[in-house]
Amino acid sequence: MEHEDPLVTAEWLKENITAPDVRVVDATWFPPFLNMEKTGRQAWSEGHIPGSVYFDIDAIKAGGTDLPHMLPDPVMFSSRVRKLGIGDGNRIIVYDQFKFFASARVWWMLRVMGQKDVKVLDGGLQAWIDAGGELEDLPPVPVERHFTARVRSDLVKDANQVLAASEAGSHTIIDSRSPERFSGDAPEPREGLPSGHIPGSICQPSGELRTPDDRLKSADELRTLFADPMAPTISTCGSGVSAAVTALALARLGNWDVAVYDGSWTEWASDSSRPIAKGAA
């Protein structure tokens, strides 16, 4: 639950995967600017943890916006996850095959929608393989299950709320992008989008939260990266994915109330009326 570690080990999953209330979710997603040869769904279809369903953040998203994978409304979200066999009373374990970017994002989405018993598989699919876990390539046949959405609006922020927090200094605003994009010295991967950062924010790249084998760093290691882990915090990034990795890391340190700026830099920088700071934090 939410006072425990937000991650589980592959060894734990091996021991508990056959429990009737455990649901395993593959959230593999590759940033489009990497031009990967396959999609997350294709990676899942080629080999996944037995029984795992595929959660596509580019499909389970809000409509009516050109911003990528924005959080959908609770009715749409509930409808989609029910069809995946995810519902009330489940213990949900989310993993992915690419540095747990999107598994952290799906962990956050489920928590926004009121799910408390959801965790991330530390090290993702590779950790499962390293632990001797088997793979399958057959899609499961999920049984639809009722999902009750109880939205936690405190875990998601919009542009106006972030602007207010920036001006008032009421929250620590952590930017998960690279230092070069944060400072404005490197271009954004999205054409036409200026680089820089939200005034008053600090840069803590999400990549620095991982070990070389793509596990989340220990609590002791993470504490050295955050000046005040328990401060009211808003996490942001390029499009709201790696920002969730920061929220996951702070949850490991006991701060379960970190909000994610869903539109993140893609939304912020697309409006020329919003202030953009340059230079190092």
* Nearest to 82, CA basis, from 136, 26, 149: 149
182 contacts 197 by C-beta, under 8 angstroms: yes
Cα 203 from Cα 224, distance rounded (Å):
14
- With cut-offs at 50, 70 and 90, classify the pLDDT of residue 280: confident
* Nearest to 258, CA basis, from 247, 244, 272: 247
pLDDT > 60? residue 1: no
- With cut-offs at 50, 70 and 90, classify the pLDDT of residue 273: very high
- β-bridge partners, 41: none
Res 174: pLDDT: 98
List the chain domain ranges. Answer: 7-151, 154-268
Question: How high does pLDDT run on average in the chain?
Answer: 96
Assigned CATH class of 7-151: alpha beta
Domain 7-151 identical in fold to domain 154-268:
yes
pLDDT > 80? residue 116: yes
C-alpha radius of gyration, the chain, whole number: 18
Res 129: pLDDT: 97
Assigned CATH class of 154-268: alpha beta
Which has more confidence, 10 or 191? 10
Q: Which residues are catalytic?
A: 237
Q: Amino acid identity of 220?
A: D
CB proximity list for 14: less than 8 A, separation 6 or greater: 128, 131, 132, 133
